[in-house]
């Protein structure tokens, strides 16, 4: 069963990571490959995929050394390129198929690549660093393999990888969704944040506060915020913890069979990988005996009695039953931090403590935790209560008549119509929106090449075939996408609708003149 399913996946999607600095000599080409999905694809096929990509990168670099190839649109496939680190490329190949809903927006796919890489770096450090640590490549391969397979398992629907397609046009990966709070609650939250900050004495701590799956506060820089927020929503929030073993991702809510399927997929792939590496004697030390931490493993986090979230992912110190506190790397400060997560009902706190500030390991961490409980528990109760009181429910940010996505590119924040409401849109509307977004992405990219400070301003209102209005508006770093179905046919109506929405929900940012 497992194998056949993997084979079907094979045909639809391929995903590889390779290092242009490796395998430059004939006969050593395999050295380049750091990751390939599906892993059981024969090497010649893998090499041909990578060879094509490498060729295109080399070719396009002649004209554009800074930003080489971004995408190849073939007749039946799209190749999406992402240079994750200098000379380390991630390429995703998806099959185009209109009947099978395989209508892609390239930027959305690239954001998947970007996301998995960012998360990887957060937990393991950069790929290059791991390569430098062990030039043979065994270390990085094992890490990438388990990490990416864990990551991809979130996209499994049944036996198929379901990557973001046109149906996700009113979503923006790599952004943060925020809870709107009143001033009083916001001050309470900040009051709590200050206490959290002071828990580890004088060392600079960072914190992230979430309510349900929404961000309430962060003291991290935007990039680190996105990474940690993404991880928290994937693995830490109450929704994820309570959903338990049956369905651990909202993408597959209600799909009880998926877990078993993934398990078999992983098992199969893993065994294939093992065979693959076992058969290769060119990898010295590639005996698979690496101690690999798998932060994206499912169902590994649980809430402890003291309210702190615990996991054995990072295993335990030798001779200790206490699980090791996770550590992550901050992108901004390049500092290694202990990650402590605390949960009270719908409130999740993530506290990051510099590893260097804690001298006696786990003991030191538990001391900080104790401090946190002593100083902040009352405030946490109060904040949770306040936020719960103001919580408008799953459809809190629904605006009737509108299906929208609002992106604040400066702050990497987005807000959209709730998924349940988006599903009411027809396929035509969504496809039209996907295409429109593709156009906007292109314009934005072009503006980026002109350098910073040249932000694009544009407004597009399209009357789709099904008579829906599909609207995109970009103003000074903020983007608004909208679908209005069953709306009046005049353009005036559409622009009026934008104006109303803008004045009401965006402080008039998108108001036309």
Partner 1 sequence: MLGKASSSQPGVGFSGSGALSHVYIQYPPLRCSIPGSRGLFYDDGNKLLLLLTSNQVFSWKTVPFAPVVAPTSDSIKKLDTLLVRGAGQRLESILGFFWTDCPTCDIIFVKTSGLDLFSYNSDLKSLHLVETKKFNVSWYVYTHESRLVLLASGMQCKNFTGYQISSAGIIRLPKFDMAMAKSEANSKPVLAAEDIHIVTVYGRIYCLQIDRVAMLLHLYRFYRDAVVQQGSLPIYSSKIAVSVVDNVLLVHQVDAKVVILYDIFADSRAPISAPLPLLFRGFPRVNISSSQLSSKDGESSEAKDLSETEAIIYGDDWIFLVPDLICDVSNGLLWKVHLDLEAISASSSEVSSVLEFLQRRKLEANKAKQLCLAIVRTVILERRPVSMVSRAIDVLVTSYSYSIKTGSYFKGMKAEKTSPSGVPRVSSHGNVVDESTSRVDAFGKSVTHEAAGGMDNESINRSTFSASDSDDNASFEPQKSNSHNLHSLGGKIDTQNLMGAETSSAEVHPSALQSQLLGLGNNPLNANVSEQQESQVTSAAISPDEMYSSVFAIVEEEMTGDSSYLVAIIVEFLRSTNVEKIKVHPNLYVLTIQLLARGERYAEVGLFIINKILEPSKEVALQLLESGRQNFQTRKLGLDMLRQLSLHHDYVLLLVQDGYYLGALRYARKNKVNSVRPSLFLEAAYASNDSQHLAAVLRFFSDFIPDFKNTTDHNTYCRILAEMNSSIAV
What are the residues binding partner 1 (CB under 8 A)? 181-184, 186-188, 190-191, 194-195, 197-198, 202, 204, 217-222, 225, 375, 410-411, 452-453, 457, 475-477, 507-509, 513
What are the Cα distances from residue 180, in Å, to 18, 30, 192, 410? 42, 50, 17, 18
Minimum distance of partner 1 from residue 190's CB (angstroms): 5
Minimum distance of partner 1 from residue 233's CB (angstroms): 18
Question: Quick check: 70 and 81 in contact, CB under 8 A?
Answer: yes
Q: Please say which residue, 187 or 278, places its beta carbon nearer to partner 1.
A: 187
| List of residues 6+ apart from 410 with CB closer than 8 A | 477, 478
Minimum distance of partner 1 from residue 243's CB (angstroms): 29
Residue 8's closest CA among 115, 166, 157, 112?
Answer: 157
Minimum distance of partner 1 from residue 382's CB (angstroms): 11
Length of the chain: 513
Q: Please say which residue, 309 or 413, places its beta carbon nearer to partner 1.
A: 413
What are the Cα distances from residue 404, in Å, to 156, 431, 483? 26, 14, 6
178, β-bridge pairs: 215
- DSSP code of residue 316: B
What are the Cα distances from residue 189, in Å, to 126, 179, 414, 491? 33, 12, 21, 43
| List of residues 6+ apart from 1 with CB closer than 8 A | 264
Q: In whole angstroms, give the CA distance from residue 323 to residue 301.
A: 11
Q: In whole angstroms, give the CA distance from residue 113 to residue 121.
A: 12
Q: Please say which residue, 25 or 183, places its beta carbon nearer to partner 1.
A: 183
Q: Please say which residue, 328 or 432, places its beta carbon nearer to partner 1.
A: 328
3-state secondary structure 441-479: HHHHHHHHHCCCCCCCCEEEEEECCCCCEEEEEEECCEE
Minimum distance of partner 1 from residue 3's CB (angstroms): 47
The two tokens of residue 358 are 């804690």
Question: Quick check: 174 and 107 in contact, CB under 8 A?
Answer: no
Minimum distance of partner 1 from residue 191's CB (angstroms): 5
Secondary structure (3-state) at 53? helix
How many CB atoms are located within 10 Å of the residue 299 CB?
15
Minimum distance of partner 1 from residue 406's CB (angstroms): 13
Q: In whole angstroms, give the CA distance from residue 117 to residue 88.
A: 11
Minimum distance of partner 1 from residue 224's CB (angstroms): 9
Q: How many CA atoms lie within 13 A of 490 on its CB side?
A: 4
Q: Please say which residue, 13 or 218, places its beta carbon nearer to partner 1.
A: 218
Minimum distance of partner 1 from residue 359's CB (angstroms): 20
Q: Please say which residue, 143 or 415, places its beta carbon nearer to partner 1.
A: 415
Q: Please say which residue, 217 or 417, places its beta carbon nearer to partner 1.
A: 217
Minimum distance of partner 1 from residue 503's CB (angstroms): 11
353, β-bridge pairs: 338
Q: Please say which residue, 5 or 198, places its beta carbon nearer to partner 1.
A: 198
Minimum distance of partner 1 from residue 472's CB (angstroms): 17
Q: Please say which residue, 147 or 397, places its beta carbon nearer to partner 1.
A: 397
Q: Please say which residue, 46 or 502, places its beta carbon nearer to partner 1.
A: 502
Secondary structure (3-state) at 419? helix
Q: Please say which residue, 56 or 186, places its beta carbon nearer to partner 1.
A: 186
**Long-range contacts of 56-60, Cβ-Cβ distance < 8 Å, separation of 24 or more:** 56/81, 57/20, 57/81, 57/89
The two tokens of residue 401 are 């008549």
217, β-bridge pairs: 209
Minimum distance of partner 1 from residue 457's CB (angstroms): 7
Question: Quick check: 106 and 438 in contact, CB under 8 A?
Answer: yes
Q: Please say which residue, 229 or 402, places its beta carbon nearer to partner 1.
A: 229
Q: Please say which residue, 55 or 182, places its beta carbon nearer to partner 1.
A: 182
Q: In whole angstroms, give the CA distance from residue 282 to residue 232.
A: 39
How many CB atoms are located within 10 Å of the residue 284 CB?
11
Minimum distance of partner 1 from residue 55's CB (angstroms): 38
Q: In whole angstroms, give the CA distance from residue 106 to residue 112.
A: 10
């Amino acid at each position: 069963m497992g194998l056949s399913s993997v084979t079907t996946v094979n045909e639809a999607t391929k995903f590889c990571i390779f290092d242009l600095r490796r395998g430059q000599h004939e006969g050593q080409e395999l050295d380049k490959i750091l990751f390939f999905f599906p892993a059981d694809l024969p090497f010649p096929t893998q090499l041909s995929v990578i060879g094509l990509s490498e060729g295109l990168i080399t070719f396009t670099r002649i004209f554009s050394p800074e930003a080489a190839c971004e995408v190849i649109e073939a007749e039946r496939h799209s190749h999406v390129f992402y240079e994750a680190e200098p000379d380390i490329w991630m390429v995703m190949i998806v099959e185009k198929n209109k009947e099978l809903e395989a209508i892609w927006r390239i930027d959305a796919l690239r954001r998947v690549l970007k996301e998995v890489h960012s998360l990887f770096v957060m937990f393991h450090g950069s790929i290059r660093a791991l390569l430098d640590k062990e030039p043979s490549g065994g270390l990085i391969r094992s890490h990438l393999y388990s990490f990416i397979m864990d990551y991809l398992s979130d996209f499994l629907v049944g036996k198929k990888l379901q990557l973001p397609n046109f149906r996700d046009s009113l979503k923006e990966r790599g952004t943060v969704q925020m809870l709107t709070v009143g001033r009083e609650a916001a001050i309470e939250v900040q009051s709590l944040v200050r206490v959290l900050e002071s828990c580890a004495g004088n060392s600079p701590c960072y914190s992230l506060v979430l309510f349900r799956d929404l961000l309430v506060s962060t003291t991290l820089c935007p990039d680190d915020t996105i990474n940690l927020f993404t991880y928290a929503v994937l693995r830490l929030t109450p929704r994820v913890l309570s959903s338990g073993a049956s369905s651990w991702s909202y993408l597959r809510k209600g799909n009880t069979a998926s877990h078993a399927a993934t398990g078999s997929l992983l098992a199969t792939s893993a065994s294939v990988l093992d065979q693959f590496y076992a058969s290769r004697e060119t990898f010295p030390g590639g005996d698979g005996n690496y101690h690999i931490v798998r932060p994206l493993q499912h169902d590994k986090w649980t809430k402890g009695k003291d309210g702190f979230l615990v996991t054995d992912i990072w295993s335990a110190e030798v001779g200790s039953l206490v699980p090791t506190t996770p550590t992550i790397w901050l992108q901004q400060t390049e500092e290694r931090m202990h990650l402590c997560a605390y949960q009270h009902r719908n409130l999740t706190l993530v506290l990051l403590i510099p590893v260097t500030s804690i001298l006696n390991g786990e003991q030191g961490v538990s001391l900080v935790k104790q401090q946190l409980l002593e100083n902040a528990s009352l405030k946490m109760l109060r904040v949770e209560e306040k936020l719960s009181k103001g919580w408008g429910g799953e459809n809190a940010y629904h605006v009737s008549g509108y299906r929208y996505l609002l992106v604040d590119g400066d702050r990497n924040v987005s807000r959209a119509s709730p998924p349940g409401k988006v599903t009411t849109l027809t396929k035509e509307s969504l496809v039209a929106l996907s295409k429109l977004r593709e156009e906007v992405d292109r314009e934005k990219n072009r503006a980026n090449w002109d350098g910073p400070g040249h932000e694009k301003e544009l407004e597009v209102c399209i009357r789709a075939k099904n008579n829906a209005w599909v609207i995109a508006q970009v103003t000074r770093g903020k983007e608004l996408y909208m679908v209005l179905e069953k709306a009046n046919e005049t353009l005036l109506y559409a622009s009026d609708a934008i104006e109303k929405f803008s004045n009401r929900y965006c402080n008039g940012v998108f108001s036309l003149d």
